[in-house]
Structure formats: structure tokens, C-alpha cells
Amino acid sequence: MKALVNTSVETLEYLDYVDPIAKTGEELVRIQYSGICGSDMHAFLGHDTRRPTPNILGHEASGTIIGGLRDGTLVTINPLNGCGKCPACLVGKSNICVDRQIISMPPRAGAFADMVAIPSDNLLVVPSQGFLKSAALTEPLACGWHAARLGLRLQDVAVSDLTCVVLGGGAIGVGAALCLRAMGVENITLIEVNALRLETLHNIVGFQASDGKDVHAPKVGTADLVIDGVGYAATRASACELAKPGGVISHIGLGSGEGGVDVRRMTLQEITFIGCYTYTPQDFRDTGAAIFSGQLGSLDWVETRPLSEGQAAFDDIRNGRAPAPKIILIP
């Protein structure tokens, strides 16, 4: 098969690669769409020791099962696989299993390839070919669904009366905003500082896009819920400023691990900070159902490029030249 291989820091090569072999309980999926995630970018830049080179990145994917009883079935992939035995897995929280695996992280190869092997239980059936490209967004949108769900369950007032702010206009942030809307929130502002991407966000129905300084920017101390989809010191500082007394911060961005948290204000104002890692299997299924029912909108804000041009796509994202919240690669 062909695969886009991360061979060294900031280098991706489109190469011939050994075909994956499905083990017992697994199926082969021919990849048709595979999105570029922020974690792929971290690995590309050499910032993720869990993904050493050479390695096939990519974990946001949809495609078709090859062989077996379900040959030809359209599916989207939940890339996370828990041990199935620990306390977290037994209560449906395999996302925090200490022995979890994810495709794109050894020993599991990723989805920037023609094919991938994945446990059968990690496959969600896609109802028709027309949904297959949108289905590749299930994984990043499920992250937003998870962060929104955890943040909303701590609120004391009706969901429709909440003021919510999302930081970051990538697929995680856009997904979080759309998920909040699907869950009944009406007042949602998404802040994105990249002018090129902000122009795209203005055309998405379901939330108000802002650069954080314009007339639509939320005021300090007014947000019931802030979702940080970026995760750098600057965005954490903004989240701490924007949250109202008694408010909630759902932190799902993994940009960096240090700085930005105003512990004194959070203590004095009883602001709750929640770490949100990916999603549970149920979140993944619920997100898929929301996509297929149209609850999350048209999802037409993605850009597609050939897998063979992956290096250029990564370069454009890194240098702020990608207007779309998500680039999806097509093998």
C-alpha cells in the first residue's frame, strides 16, 4: 500500500509500505478520508516523543471494510482502544485507560495510508456514501462533544440561558461550538485570531465568530462555560479571565502543559477547571448520530487534498495558510 510516513522532524514522505494485517477481532479498513489533527502537527514538529519516526500518523478517518462478513460496509474509526478490564474501561471511560492505545502511536500505525487494521468494536457504521467525508470528522467533533457535555453538566441554570465561549477555530473548537448548539445552548462565541480562518468561520451557522477584540468579543467575567480547544498559556489565561464567578472551564487543547492558569481567581471565584481528554465510546457514538441526523449542520467547512500532497498541507497549516478549520487527506 501507499502511506504518508513521518520520516523525520517536519518531513513526510509518500512511500510504499507494508500492508497491515488484521489480528483476531480486528478488521481491515480501506481509508477514503483522513483528517489532519493538531496532535499530528505536534508529532510532525518533533514535539511528541510518543510518536517517534518513522511513523504513519493520522487517526481521524472513514472508509470501507475490506473482506470478512462486513466486506463493503462504510465505517468511521474510533482510534482509541482501551484494555477493557480496568476500572475506567468497565464504566465506559476507556479514554482514560492507563493502557489505552491509539492508531498513529506505536505499536499501531495510523490512517495516513491506503489501509489500517482496527478492532471491530472501534468501527461505527456510516449510513450512506454521502456521509462518508463528514464521518471522518466524527473523531475531532467527538472531542468537542465530550468537552461540551462535561462542562454543561455542572451548570446551575437552563442550557438555553447560558453564555458560552470557545477558544480556537480549528475542528476541535468549531466542533465544540456546534455541539453546544446541538445541546441547546443559544449564546455561543468562538474566538479565532487567524484572520484567514476567521473569514471562513463567519460563514458557519450556529455561533458568533470573533477575533476577541471586535464588537462581538465577550466581556471579561461573563461566560458560564469556556471551552479551550487550543491549550496554550495564552488561551488558558483568557479562559480564566472570561469565566464568570461560579463558571466552568473545559480544557481539551493540548498545545502546552505550562502557564496561564490563574489559580487565585479560580479559587476566589469558585471557577471549575475540567481536564477533558478525547471522548468516551458513547460520546463517539452520540457524535456520529448527531452528524448523520444533521444536528451539527452541513459540515462543509473542510478542505480536501490528496494524501500524496500531505507535506504541503502540513506546511500550510503550520504557517497559517490554511483557511479551513480542517484539512482532510484522500488516499
38 and 12 fall within a common domain: yes
Instruction: Indicate which CATH number applies to the domain containing 131.
Output: 3.90.180.10
* Assigned domain for 288 exists: no
126 and 219 fall within a common domain: no
| pLDDT, position 35 | 98
3-state SS string for the chain: CEEEEEEECCEEEEEECCCCCCCCCEEEEEEEEEECCHHHHHHHCCCCCCCCCCEECCCEEEEEEECCCCCCCEEEECCEECCCCCHHHHCCCHHHCCCCEECCCCCCCCCCECEEEEEHHHEEECCCHHHHHHHCCHHHHHHHHHHHHHHHCCCCCCHHHCEEEEECCCHHHHHHHHHHHHCCCCEEEEECCCHHHHHHHCCCCCCEEECCCCCCCCCCCCEEEEEECCCCHHHHHHHHHHEEEEEEEEECCCCCCCCCCCHHHHHHCCCEEEECCCCCHHHHHHHHHHHHHCCCCCCCCEEEEEHHHHHHHHHHHHCCCCCCCEEEEEC
* Assigned domain for 40 exists: yes
| pLDDT, position 86 | 97
| pLDDT, position 168 | 97
* Assigned domain for 103 exists: yes
User: pLDDT tens-digit profile of 239-277?
Assistant: 999 999 999 999 999 988 899 999 999 999 999 999 999
Q: How many independent structural domains does the chain possess?
A: 2
* Assigned domain for 222 exists: yes
159 and 62 fall within a common domain: no
148 and 269 fall within a common domain: yes
| pLDDT, position 110 | 97
84 and 133 fall within a common domain: yes
State which residues of the chain have pLDDT below 70. Answer: none
| pLDDT, position 43 | 95
150 and 69 fall within a common domain: no
pTM for this one?
Answer: 0.96
| pLDDT, position 91 | 98
Residue span of the structural domain in which 69 resides: 2-137+299-330
131 and 169 fall within a common domain: no
| pLDDT, position 124 | 98
